[in-house]
Chains A and B, each alone.
Chain A
Amino acid sequence: MFDLERWQEIFDTIRKNKLRTFLTGLSVASGIFILVILLGFGQGMQNGIAHEFEEDSATSVWVWPGVTSKEFKGLNPGRTIQLRNENYTSSLALFGDEVEYKSPRIFVRDVKVNYGKEALVYGIQGVSYDFQFIENAKMSEGRFLNYLDEVNTAKVAIIGNKIKKDVFKDIKTPLGEFINISGVLFKIVGIYSEREDREEERIYIPITTAQQVFNGGDRINNMSYTLPVMDNFDEAVVQAISFKENLQAHLQQVHKVAPEDTGAIQVWSALEEAKRYYSLTGNIKFFFWFVGICTIIAGVVGVSNIMLIVVKERTREIGIRKALGAKPWSIVGMILHESIFVTAISGFAGLIFSMGLLEIVGPHIEVDYILNPSVNFNVAISTVLVLIIAGAVAGFFPAWRAASIHTIDALRDE
C-alpha cells in the first residue's frame, strides 16, 4: 500500500490507459451520484413534511366544539355545544399536571377595527398568555400578552408582521400606536411573526378583555394545550392519545354528549396526525433506500464488469509480467490496487459533486413537501466505502484467475 514503486507503476498504467480509467471511474461516480441525490430527496421529503408540522407546536392538542348528532340522555341531536370558562378551568383541574402550555380562545366578531382613518379587516382573537407557544409565534418586536394583561383586562393588542407591513409601513414601528376596536382603544405592545402570511393576519388581545369588553360573557370558542416534549416519539404519541381521550370523555360528560358522538366535541392531537405522516415518510425513506441499494448493486455489477474486461484485456500483459518474474500475488495486488484507487477517487468525486449539488441547489428548491434535500455525510461515506470494497471483491476473482492462468497460455492470448 505504501510501496512508492508500486504507486509509480500504477500511475504509469493509469496515465497510459486514460479511456479505460475514465470509463471505470464514470460508472462508479454516477452510481454514487444517483444514490446521494436519491437519499437527499428522501431526506428532503421528510424535512418537508416535518416542516408542515412546525407551524404549530408539535405536541399541541385542540378542542373544537361542534354539533351533536346523537340523542343522549333525553336530549335531541342537533344541539350546538358551547364551551365556557368553567370547561377550561375544570379541564385544567383534572389534567393540568399533564400539560405544558394551555390557552382558551375566543373569536371577537362584529367589531370595527380602525387605525386612524384606515379600516382594518383582520380577525381579532382573545387568547391567554401561553398562546404564543402553542402557535409557535416568534416575537419580532415588543412582547406577547402576559399574566397582568389578563388579570387587569388590559387594552393591549399584539399584531402579526403582515399587518405591520400592510398598515404601518409608513412609520418606524407600530409599537405604542393605538388601534380602535369598536370605539375602544388598544395599545400595540408586540409584533409576532409566523411562517405563513395568513397566520400573521391576526390581532391578539387578552381573553379576559375580549370577554368583558365585547360581550363574550364566559363563552370560549376553542381550547388548546401543549404536552411536554418527550424524547421518545412513540411514548409521546401514546401520551397524547390518552390525554386526548380523557379530555374528550370529560367534556362529553359535562355537556351530556354520547361517548361515540365524536363530532360534537372534536379533540385533535398534532402528534397523532404527525405519526401518520412520520410513518409515511418512513416508508418513503425506506423506498429511497431500496432504490439506492439497487443503484449500488447496479454500480457494483458495473464495476465488476469493467474489472472483468480490464483483466481480460490485460491477460497478455500479465503473461509478460509473469515471464519477467512477477509473482501471482503481485499481479493480483497490482490490478486490485489500481482498481481500488480508481474506484475510490471517482467514488469520492461523485460524492463531492452530488453533495455539492445538493448543498447549492437544495436550499432553493421550493416545492411543497420537499425541503432542503440533504444527505447524512456518514451515510454517504459508508456507501462509497461499500462500493470500493465491493469493487475490490468483484475485481479480485478475475484478477486471481488471470494471475493463475499458465504463463504460456497468457502469452498466447491475443
Chain B
Amino acid sequence: MIEIKDLHKSYKMGSNTLHVLKGINFSVEEGELVAIMGSSGSGKSTLLNILGMLDVADSGEYTLDGVPIKNLNETKAANYRNKFLGFVFQSFNLINYKSALENVALPLYYQRVPRKERQERALKYLEQVGLKEWATHLPSELSGGQNQRVAIARAMASEPKVLLADEPTGALDSTTSYEVMDLIQKINDQGNTILVVTHEDDIAHMCKRIVYLKDGVIVEDKKVKQVRASKYV
C-alpha cells in the first residue's frame, strides 16, 4: 500500500540545515496497523506529514496504492489527499462553527457528493463511532474523546486508502485514549490501513507493528502481539 525508498528531508533553520529524515526505507501492506514511535525530534511527525502530502520530501520515492507521488503541486496534493487519505490530528482540527455531522460531511463536499447523500453517509459514520445522538452538536459542546471520535468519523467518511493519525490520543486522558484506540482497532479490523504516530508505549502496543525512529532513521521495525484496547474500556 505504501512504499518509501531512501526518503530525505531537511529544514533550513537560519544558516543551519536540520537534517530530519536521513534515508527512510519503509513499506506498509494493506490492512496493517502501524505505530510510528520516537522521541520528539526523531522525525516521526515529518514522516507522517510527507506520507500525508502535507509536506514534500527533498529526495526519495513514495508510492501510494501503486501511484507514484511526485511533482506535487497544491491542487494535485489536495486531490490525492481527498482520494487516498484520512487524517486524525492530536488537536482534532474540527471546524468550530460546524456541527459534528457537518464536520464529518465536509470531505465529501470536496468529493462533490450531493448534499443529501453526504449527510446520510456522514450520519452512518457518526453512528459507527457511537455519536449519532450528538450529530447536531458543535465541537465545543462535546468532550475531547467525543471530538476525536468525530474527527475519526470524518477521516473515515471519505473512505480513504490509508488513515493517518498524528498523536490521536495526545490530548486525551488514558481511559479516553483507550476508547479511541478501541475505535481505531475496530476500523482496522474492517481491513483499513492505519498509521499512528505516538510516543506512548501502551498506545503503540495496541497496534500490530511498531516502527522506532531515532534521529531521522528507522532503528527498529517489529511486529508485536496486539493488545486489545477493549480490555481497558
Complex: A76 Cα to B111 Cα, angstroms: 103
Complex interface: chain A residues within 8 A of B158 (CB) = 324-325
A80 at the B interface (CB under 8 A): no
Complex interface: chain A residues within 8 A of B97 (CB) = 13, 16-17
Interface readout for B84-114 with A: 1 if CB under 8 Å, 0 if not? 0001010001110110001000110111101
Q: A40-48, A376-384, A404-412: which lies at the B interface? A: A404-412
Number of interface residues of A (CB under 8 A): 27
Once A323-B81, A325-B83 are accepted as A-B contacts, the answer to whether A12 and B75 lie under 8 Å apart by CB is: no
**Contact: B49 with A324, CB < 8 Å?**
no
**Contact: A328 with B75, CB < 8 Å?**
yes
B74 at the A interface (CB under 8 A): yes
Q: Which residues of B160-175 are within 8 A (CB) of A?
A: none
Partner of A325 from the list B98, B110, B114 (CB cut-off 8 Å) is B110
B9 at the A interface (CB under 8 A): no
In this complex, what residue of A is CB-closest to B46?
A408
**Contact: A325 with B111, CB < 8 Å?**
yes
B154 at the A interface (CB under 8 A): yes
Q: How far is the CB of B89 from chain A (nearest CB, A)?
A: 7
Complex interface: chain A residues within 8 A of B78 (CB) = 322, 325-328
Complex interface: chain A residues within 8 A of B115 (CB) = 5, 8
B82 at the A interface (CB under 8 A): yes
Once A317-B95, A325-B107, A325-B158 are accepted as A-B contacts, the answer to whether A406 and B81 lie under 8 Å apart by CB is: no
Q: How far is the CB of B161 from chain A (nearest CB, A)?
A: 13
**Contact: B54 with A407, CB < 8 Å?**
yes
Partner of A326 from the list B89, B93, B110 (CB cut-off 8 Å) is B110
Interface readout for A3-27 with B: 1 if CB under 8 Å, 0 if not? 0010011001100110000000000
**Contact: B110 with A329, CB < 8 Å?**
no
**Contact: A325 with B81, CB < 8 Å?**
yes
**Contact: B93 with A12, CB < 8 Å?**
no
Complex: A190 Cα to B120 Cα, angstroms: 85
Complex interface: chain B residues within 8 A of A316 (CB) = 93
5 A-B pairs closest in CB distance = A325-B82, A16-B97, A325-B110, A324-B107, A327-B78
Give the interface of A toward B (CB within 8 A). 5, 8-9, 12-13, 16-17, 316-317, 319-330, 403-404, 406-408, 411
Question: Can you pick out 20 interface pairs between chain A and chain B where the beta carbons lie within 8 Å of each other?
Answer: A16-B98, A317-B95, A322-B78, A323-B52, A323-B81, A324-B82, A324-B87, A325-B82, A325-B110, A325-B158, A326-B82, A327-B79, A328-B74, A328-B78, A330-B110, A404-B74, A406-B55, A408-B49, A408-B54, A411-B54
Give the interface of B toward A (CB within 8 A). 49, 52, 54-55, 74-75, 78-79, 81-83, 87, 89, 93-95, 97-98, 102, 106-107, 109-112, 114-115, 154, 158
